[in-house]
Amino acid sequence: MHTELSLPGTREFTLADFDFQLPPELIAQHPATERSASRLLDGRLKAPVDRVFRELPALLQPGDLMVFNDTEVMKARLFGEKATGGKVELLVERVLPPDPLGLAPAHQVVAHMKVSKKPLPGAVLHMQGGFTATLLGRWPDEHGALFRFALSADPHALMLAHGHVPLPPYIEHADTEQDARRYQTVFAREPGAAAAPTAALHFDEGVLAELQARGVMHAHVTLHVGAGTFQPVKVEDLRQHRMHSEWYRVPPETAQAIEDCRRRGGRVLAVGTTTVRTLESWAVSGCMQGDTQIFITPGFRFQVVDLLLTNFHLPKSTLLMLVSAFAGYDTMRDLYRHAIEHRYRFFSYGDAMLLQRAAHA
């Protein structure tokens, strides 16, 4: 099922409303020494409270339900060259399922392609590691911005052996062994993402054990985060923005856990914006899995999520619009101002904040 929604509220805001000036030194280039040692901005009250992430269990109540995104980041960045010797870089966005009839080429992927001159369909790229990638065309159609390739062997095996961690564009160093460990959640189990669900990077086994001891329940969804999550919106009229597509799934046991949480009077805490997108796509469409292009802006009415744990997001990004819709636009402006003044670390390897759904959302 494909979910693309035109949501209320976009007439009231323009792109400029979601811009802000961020000192470059606040963009975290490396993770905190320990996952749970990151800072946590508690934005649930009228005045923000500065905390440490490992305090999170004490802020929740027995019977609350935390929902995590269990996607696993693929080593999705692949390097190679064209037959002419020109350098090429692929960033795998998703691995396509095999053709059930066996008529289409095997081992297909959809990828971004960085190259000086784009090759024509049928071109064979020679990739580092000794495998090939044959260009089949654009995706999802001839006007698409992404490209469809057939690799010469199983894509997941090739990425695991020869790929690189797809660090975000604002992280300036090449990927390292530390990134292979830390740009991945401790509960990742469903390979398919080209970017990490970053709010979940703060959890370690100690925090998870404390949450369990406190009686906080947990459940999982899957949303394979795409590289499009880093793309800024470029049109002033938000109604003209076209969201990238991401695949999601809500397991039946998670749907049941949410129902049970409601019955006992607990709150649903989404760990990260990807979990919000998954749960609210399900609520709007009624479909427990499929592709979503849901665009959440101020005016959206949330049906599932009560609390949100999230990192600090890029200016002019759809994720900043989402958290503004959730906690309230003025609240988010105040919290971001506080975070900058108090030198919080921003973006994927940065600090986190805890938000409560605004009354009007």
As a whole number, mean pLDDT of residues 307-319 equals 97
Task: Provide the percentage of residues in the chain whose pLDDT is more than 70.
Answer: 97
Q: What is the pTM of this model?
A: 0.93
Q: Write down the pLDDT at residue 228.
A: 84
In this prediction, residue 1 has a pLDDT band, given cuts at 50, 70 and 90, of very low
Q: Could you read off the pLDDT of 34-71 as tens digits, one per residue?
A: 999 999 999 999 899 999 999 999 999 999 999 999 99
Q: Write down the pLDDT at residue 321.
A: 96
In this prediction, residue 360 has a pLDDT band, given cuts at 50, 70 and 90, of confident
What's the distance, Cα to Cα, between the start and end of the chain in Å? 25
Assigned superfamily of 2-73+177-356: QueA-like (3.40.1780.10)
Q: Could you read off the pLDDT of 259-305 as tens digits, one per residue?
A: 999 999 999 999 999 999 999 999 999 999 999 999 999 999 999 99
